[in-house]
Structure 1
């Protein structure tokens, strides 16, 4: 039954758009030099760091000056504090002041490569909403929504499935700290049908509606999103949250800090704390076997919030990011102009990112929700029916250029050497979604217990 439902959703969602499909995002405009640069997924071992030019170092000295002043006043700062300042400082932070996405930015993400990606996630959301019993209210909550492309593609699926989701009150809630990106998202989703809040203290700092009259609201914090049945989507969100770095030494675990280079006051360097810090004493697991560990405490807090809301209000969360299941060590790196960039060079001019530790997220989610994954992006998309979708598109596409772009985008998303096995999907579900149905009283129990309902994307559904 579950398999048939997902197949029907795919058929309905895409049947009206086969002949009108157009590839509006492609990797063809990304610079062709260096290592692969679609997404923030290049390994630090596969390419050299970009060297910083004199012009670049002079371009934005304020962040370096701010950090240097802070270090001189209070001593070396944690890597977590460094990342938080560099990325989200309200004046000169990378995410606050810059549109970093696309061929002209520093990286490109899966929703920008092919809208099929967002369409399949839209089918997953509708499937989970149906699996939860079709609640009257459906909140789509996206954390770090980029340009709004993913939300737009998901909403398009909702519109194609009006006969299915039409009975629900659908609303979109975007958690975004960047004013520049929120304006792009508003243009993508609402056109001119949006307005900023009159007060900076208003938790909803921008509000609007789509052409289909779906309400869209913007927040700076997850806790400001109204409590209701929600499907949370976080695509390349957790990798940008600040991490603490720890190093095993002869004297025990020590935190890695950022300090000023003594020989050059205009440069920064990594140092190891001589004594334990509060973070090194509390965040490293007692049975940790690795010699170098990165812990995203902020990510753990957010996962706890998601888990609590799902347990209390119902819903699900889908986290898509590159990461590992408790095996990664030194993964912190920078990206600038689709090239790897020294994380301590010209702070504020490049994106900083670290692989997501899914084992840590699972541990922080606790026992109140069910955790599935991580599974590779290739497996998730194939389980969701990307092969069937692409076959239909290619069969009905006569334009050679569009066919080439379709094949290229499919390869980028699913090829194991590209995004296919670099990115992973991880989900939090209400425990009732995986509960084994109880047998009616008076009937003999079978020798084999019935299997839990399969969850789209994480279980082979036979598409």
Structure 2
């Protein structure tokens, strides 16, 4: 999965109507603008620290950052920007969107001595997963082997993996699948530790599940349609659902405050997306239908509103982030 995605993202821009998929920032400027206002509110209530940094993991075209930073600048909040990105092709687009951005290849290279506001929109879903499968001989790791031509297939490996499966799922019948994402665990634990030591907050927007479960969530998308993940590797986007329960627990291990996860639609409405829609429509009445359609795609259950979740973690000495009510939590 890692090798295929590295090849895929190295080829160019996968986003938009002519690409393979579209993300929330590309649907509407309202998404990035509201994130910018959310960050600004937290910054103001934290006492306006002047040395904090804006960090985005896998920033796509840089659209979210450009929209968020534009909103933040209205309140004299203009932090230095860091993008964690490995694709040279995407870095070129990001540099055009945010010319002053600093580029890094690993989260370990981020500054160690300042508060950070970290955004991860559809970042964790692209990290490589590990799948364990129940067989008649016990639990084994699913490994990828060549089938024929450009086709690959998944098959159980030889090494016993029973001890890596949680007790609640260990007695599952063949071919039960249990997924983990070691890369997500490592990155989240590292960044949570940074926030605990340095201050700041992190916002995660992605699709995933809020309680531990079983089953494969690996999927491939090409030209906005689902494809076979094991066919033509490097030609389509490979993703898997994010385990929000684990991400939240990793932050709690670092003694951080955890907000959410809640549905994206609920969160955006709490932040005032409908008010922002009215303002934009009043300025450009000819775009009212377009803007309303974009709002619905971001908020409603028929679009991204329910599938996508929002999770925030923050330093316990900082203010509690807005938009999260206890009775809205799905965790």
- TM-score normalised to the size of structure 2? 0.91
Residue in structure 2 matched with residue 382 of structure 1 by the alignment: 269
Residue in structure 2 matched with residue 347 of structure 1 by the alignment: 233
Out of 28, 46, 50, which is 1:132 matched to? 46
In structure 2, relative to structure 1, the CA distance for the partners of 1:288 and 1:364 (3 Å cut) is farther
State how 1:440-459 maps to structure 2 within 5 Å. Answer: 455-459=321-325
Secondary structure of the residue aligned to 1:433 is coil
State how 1:313-332 maps to structure 2 within 5 Å. Answer: 313-325=198-210, 326-327=212-213, 329-332=215-218
Q: Which stretches of structure 1, 4 residues or more, deviate above 6 A after TM superposition?
A: none
In structure 2, relative to structure 1, the CA distance for the partners of 1:359 and 1:274 (3 Å cut) is same
Q: Deviations over 1:297-346 (max 9, x none)?
A: 00000001111000000000000000001236211000111111100111
Query: Which one is further off, 174-183 or 120-129?
Result: 120-129
Secondary structure of the residue aligned to 1:298 is helix
Shift of residue 151 of structure 1?
Answer: 0.4
Q: Deviations over 1:9-58 (max 9, x none)?
A: xxxxxxxxxxxxxxxxxxxxxxxxxxxxxxxxxxxxxxxxxxxxxxxxxx
Shift of residue 276 of structure 1?
Answer: 1.3
Gaps of 5+ in 1: 1-82, 191-208, 210-215, 435-452
In our comparison, the structure showing a higher alpha carbon Rg is 1
CA RMSD of aligned residues (A): 1.8
1:115 aligns with 2:24: no
Shift of residue 132 of structure 1?
Answer: 2.4
Residue in structure 2 matched with residue 184 of structure 1 by the alignment: 93
Residue in structure 1 matched with residue 8 of structure 2 by the alignment: 94
| Aligned residues of 2:200 and 2:318 also touching (Cα < 8 A) | no
| Aligned residues of 1:328 and 1:355 also touching (Cα < 8 A) | no
Out of 280, 286, 290, which is 2:167 matched to? 286
Residue in structure 2 matched with residue 300 of structure 1 by the alignment: 185
In structure 2, relative to structure 1, the CA distance for the partners of 1:384 and 1:412 (3 Å cut) is same
Give the Cα separation in 2 of the matches to 1:362 and 1:293: 19
Give the Cα separation in 2 of the matches to 1:286 and 1:427: 29
Number of corresponding residues = 319
Shift of residue 181 of structure 1?
Answer: 0.1
Residue in structure 2 matched with residue 242 of structure 1 by the alignment: 128
Shift of residue 265 of structure 1?
Answer: 4.7
Give the Cα separation in 1 of the matches to 2:182 and 2:160: 17
Residue in structure 1 matched with residue 292 of structure 2 by the alignment: 407
- TM-score normalised to the size of structure 1? 0.66
Residue in structure 2 matched with residue 270 of structure 1 by the alignment: 154
Gaps of 5+ in 2: 327-331
| Aligned residues of 2:178 and 2:213 also touching (Cα < 8 A) | no
In structure 2, relative to structure 1, the CA distance for the partners of 1:185 and 1:265 (3 Å cut) is closer
1:335 aligns with 2:216: no
